[in-house]
Every structure is written in structure tokens, then in C-alpha cells.
Structure 1
Amino acid sequence: MLGLDDRALDEDDGIERTAPVWAVFGDLMAGLVGAFVLILVGVLAVQMDLVTSLQTEVKKREQEEQRRMALEKALAVPLQNGRVTLDNGRIGISGNVLFALNSDELRPEGHQVLKSLVPPLQVYLKERDEMLMVSGFTDDRPVQATNLRFADNLELSAQRALTVTRVLIQEGMPAQRVFSAAFGAQQPVAANTDEKGRALNRRVEIAPVPKATNGSSTKGGAGG
């Protein structure tokens, strides 16, 4: 028979044998809880980033819509007369209205269109502290050999953009707020397969753009 001391010793041994199991279980649970907390924090961080990105995108779209509506309001009269078009913030003027084929000499009708744009654009640019980019485009047909003034379509589009820029300045647009760029036959808006499409591609676009940041300068002139 086991004595009292022997039974007590066995009970103590049982406690000593089971204690490490509970300790391991406790460590395991603590590790699982810690991992769960880390995962939860990560998920919350991703959700916050998504919410922030969504809010930024919504704000950006709202600003773009307000900008578009303000530009439409400023150009209400020219748009109503059908003299210009407005697409995604770009004011389009048909090349046929402004210039004869292969020419950079501004037509009287074109001069009047540009003159009508200056007052509303002046107000619009001043309110937003923006600049005006004048871009010249042509169709894909080579410049006629009889016209020796221009080496190619890029040079023709550059000179047309400069002509429009100079007229805008003459009509009151501050010189520091307008510059020109040339794209030649690049970026067509229609197929160059027929005269209708080529006429659409011969155009000048005027677009408000943000002011150049410090460290970079925007100069008047033609660029590719």
C-alpha cells in the first residue's frame, strides 16, 4: 500500500507533468491572438488607403467637372454660334475657319473668332491662375511642293500655332499666359482617308493648362 506521502508525491508529479502543456497552449493562443491583431491592423490600413484614394479621385473628378462647366459658361457665346468646339477642356477651331490650305495667313473670319475668345478666356485664366496652350495640327498629306515656306507639316502647324498665339496677344491676352506647340499630323481626331476627315484634322486647339512650377519654365514658341 502507498503511504500518504507517496500519494502526495504522485499527485505533485501529475501537476508537474501537466503544467508545461498549459503553458504551451497559453503561448500558442497568445501567438494566434497577436497574429489576428496584426492581420486586422493590416486590413484596416488597406481599407483606409482605399477610402483615401477614393476620396481623392472623387474630389479630382468634381474639380474637373467644375472646371469644364466654368469653361463652358465662359465660352457660351462662341459655342452657341458654332464657331468653336469644346472637348475635354480643349477648345477646337477648324483650320478651314482660320487658314487657307497650306497657309499660315489668318483669315478675317478666323481673326474675329480669336478676338471673341480673348475676353472670356482672360477672366477664366485669371480666376484659376492658369496658362493657355495653343496647339497646331495638320492632316497627313505632305505640304505642296509649290509652297516652299514650310519644309513639312510640323513646320506648317508650328507657324499656324504661332500666328494664333500672336493674334491672341494682340487682342489683349497677356503674353506670359499663352504659349504655342506644334504636332503636325500627329494626334488626328479623324481618319485621313477622305476630305472630311482631313478637314477635321487640320485644326488649332486652345487649352487652359496649369502654370509651370518653380524650376521649370514655359516659353512661347513651337514645340514638337
Structure 2
Amino acid sequence: MRQDMDIDDAGLDTSVPVWAVFGDLMSGLLGAFVLILVCAIGMQLDLAARLESEVKQRQAEAQRREALEKALAGPLAAGRVTLNNGRIGISGSVLFAFNSADLQPEGRQVLRSLAAPLATYLRSRDEILMVSGFTDNRQMREGARLFADNWELSAQRALTVTRTLIEEGVPSSAVFAAAFGAEQAVASNADADGRAKNRRVEMAPTPRPSYAASTTGTAAKARE
């Protein structure tokens, strides 16, 4: 009985034209190439978008630091504060006596010189100010202990600075306090000089939380 398909000696079907097989193969290869090309273009576009976003972020950060440095030109020139990576630093010995959270006269003068330019800066950029208190790692003395530990001391110092800034004109809605105790030291606690550097207060402008900005905007509209 004769079969409909032609089979060669090797058992292969010879009824299908070679060009058809070749066309199917080329179609498959072309599809794979297009898929790879689309993926490569997508990855390239994603990388370009990320790079552009990073560049814009760095430019915005540089502009923010430049604006802050300009706003604090007076206190910086007087050497009463430092500015490092957008963080305003004040030595603890300038603000407070050892193991005390009571502001010294010199410390109040420094904060008074900072209040007006900080208020203007925060208002112009709709940012808020984080006031952070830090201590060295020595334990509180048992004799005249006023605070439970360094966490409490750093918290009280941060609150004292925060309240003073508010008294000097910084809006209470634009400033908050944070305590770090002996954590995040900037120098070694093995010697007196290093411990003095670690006893400090830092202030850092930060973006206002979106929910707070939305609440502020809603309140402003309600007053209109």
C-alpha cells in the first residue's frame, strides 16, 4: 500500500519544502532577537531614568546646602557653629555646663543668632528642623545625678534648644527634638578631646512629611 508521505532512506519526511522550514527558523530567531532588543531598550531607558533622577537629587541637595550656608553666613563666619553635610553643629560646652541641661548665656546668644535665619530658610523651603542631642559614653555620676542616663540628658538638652529656638521666633510647627545619647559618636571617647566633640547638639533641616504639608495646605485654604 502506498503512503501519502515521501520518506527518504534516513526516515525523514521530504514532503515539506526546505524553504518553509528555513522560514520558520528565521521567524523564531527574529522573534527572539526582537524580544532581546525590547528588553535591552527597556533596561537602558530605566537606567537612564534612574541616572537622571539621581543627578536631579544631587543637584537639589547641593542647592539646599548652598542655601543653608548662605542663610547662616553670619554665625558661620563668627565660628560659633559648624555646617557639615547640611547638619548644623554646636559644641555642647558652648550650650551647657557639664552634665547640665540648663542653657548658658553664650549658648542662648548662639541660638538667638541662628533663630531668624533658620526661620526664614525653613519657611522659604517648607522644611522642618530636627534638633538632636548627643553625649559622650561616660555614665552619669551617682553623687549629683539629675538624669537617669545619657539618653535622658541628651533628650533634655535637645528639648532645651528646641524651646529656645521657638522662644526666639522659629515656629513650633517647624522644629522637633530627638535624642541619641552616646550613640553616633563623631570622635573617640577614649580621651577628653574626643568626648568633648561627642557632647554636642546638631540641627538638620529635613523635608516636611507629606501628610503634614497636606494638613498645612488644608488649614491655609480653610482660613481663606
TM-score, normalization: structure 2? Answer: 0.87
Q: Who is 2:78 aligned against?
A: 81
Number of positions where the alignment pairs a residue of Structure 1 with one of Structure 2: 201
Measure the CA separation in 1 of the matches of 2:86 and 2:212. 26
- Percent of aligned pairs with the same residue? 64
- Are residue 144 (structure 1) and residue 141 (structure 2) matched? yes
Measure the CA separation in 1 of the matches of 2:143 and 2:82. 32
- Are residue 195 (structure 1) and residue 186 (structure 2) matched? no
Per-residue deviation, 1:149: 1.6
Unpaired stretches in structure 1, ≥5 consecutive residues: 1-15, 217-224
Per-residue deviation, 1:208: 0.5
- Are residue 127 (structure 1) and residue 124 (structure 2) matched? yes
Aligned residue identity for 2:165: L
Measure the CA separation in 2 of the matches of 1:133 and 1:161. 9
Measure the CA separation in 1 of the matches of 2:67 and 2:146. 40
CA contact (8 A) 1:137 1:184 kept: yes
C-alpha change, 1:63 and 1:199, in structure 2 (3 Å) is: same
- The correspondence for 2:171, drawn from 174, 178, 182, is 174
Measure the CA separation in 1 of the matches of 2:44 and 2:83. 38
- Are residue 60 (structure 1) and residue 54 (structure 2) matched? no
Q: Secondary structure at the match of 1:50?
A: helix
Q: Who is 1:48 aligned against?
A: 45
Q: Who is 1:69 aligned against?
A: 66
Q: Secondary structure at the match of 1:205?
A: strand
Q: Who is 1:184 aligned against?
A: 181
- Are residue 213 (structure 1) and residue 213 (structure 2) matched? no
Unpaired stretches in structure 2, ≥5 consecutive residues: 1-12, 214-224
Measure the CA separation in 1 of the matches of 2:116 and 2:145. 36
C-alpha change, 1:215 and 1:160, in structure 2 (3 Å) is: closer
Measure the CA separation in 1 of the matches of 2:162 and 2:14. 93
- Please give the per-residue CA displacement for 1:113-149, whole angstroms capped at 9, x wherever unaligned: 0000011111110111111111000000011212332
Structure 1 segments of 4 or more deviating over 2 A? 16-20
Q: Secondary structure at the match of 2:140?
A: coil
Please tell me the root mean square deviation across aligned C-alpha atoms, in Å. Answer: 1.5
Higher Rg of the two aligned structures: 1
Measure the CA separation in 2 of the matches of 1:160 and 1:25. 81
Q: Who is 2:19 aligned against?
A: 22
